[in-house]
Every structure is written in C-alpha cells, then in structure tokens.
Amino acid sequence: MGFRPRFAGDRMASVGPGVDKLIKPFSGGEGVNEWISKVELVVRLTGVKDEAAFLPLFLEGGALAVYLEMPSAEQKDAATIKKSCVQPSLIAHLWHTGRCEG
C-alpha cells in the first residue's frame, strides 16, 4: 500500500460527508458563541476524538491568523482555541497591524 499522508480532508471524511456544510467558516467577530456551540454539537454528535485538530479546519481570516500566532502547545488545546476566538481584540489587532489578510 505504501505511505499515505494525512490531510485535513482525511479528518473531514472521518466524521462524515457534509460536515463542512453544517459548520460555516469563522473569521472573527459576531456570532462566535453560536459558532462555538455548533462546533461542539457537531463534535459530540459525530464522535470527533480531537476537537483541537478539528476546530482550525473551520477558521479563516482573522481567526485563523490568531490561531497561527498561538504557540504549538496552545494549538493543541480546544478550550484555548475557542477562548482566542472569543477575544475579538486579538483578531482586530492582527488586522490593524497588517499581519492578517481577509
């Protein structure tokens, strides 16, 4: 068979088709609590084992920039990732400093 690298798509396939239609990408701003609730619901109902690896698949723009700025250890903690999404000041800071593109 040979070596087959794992990609983000592999994680998506493991939770079932259409998950990407259930959770809209989050770029920061309003609706973060609703977005987090929906992610948690999908994680629970689909049996996702590693929420910290699943969350970044749905981040974009400012929220993804904040995630990428986090230390590696924090990127492995789902609670820390969610907390960073709730702090719009971090996302706004990255936008204003030009470290984030939309």
Summarize pLDDT for 3-46 with one digit per residue, the tens. 333 444 554 445 556 777 889 999 887 788 899 999 999 999 98
Q: What is the chain's mean pLDDT, rounded? A: 77
Q: Which residue has the higher pLDDT, 102 or 97?
A: 97
Percentage with pLDDT > 70 across the chain: 69
One-letter identity of residue 13: A
Domain membership of residue 1 (yes or no) is: no
In a domain, 11, yes or no: no
Residue 88 is assigned to a structural domain of this protein: yes
The pLDDT of residue 40 is 95
Inside any domain, residue 56: yes
The answer to whether position 15 is within a domain reads no
* Residue 6 forms part of a structural domain: no
Range of the domain at 49: 27-96
Half-sphere exposure of 15 (CA within 13 A, CB side): 26
Q: What tokens were used for 101? A: 């593109």
**Number of domains forming the structure of the chain:** 1
Rounded CA-CA distance 34/101 in Å is 24
pLDDT value of position 7 = 40
Six token digits for residue 76: 């492995």
In a domain, 4, yes or no: no
Does pTM surpass 0.75?
A: no
Determine, yes or no, domain membership for 78: yes
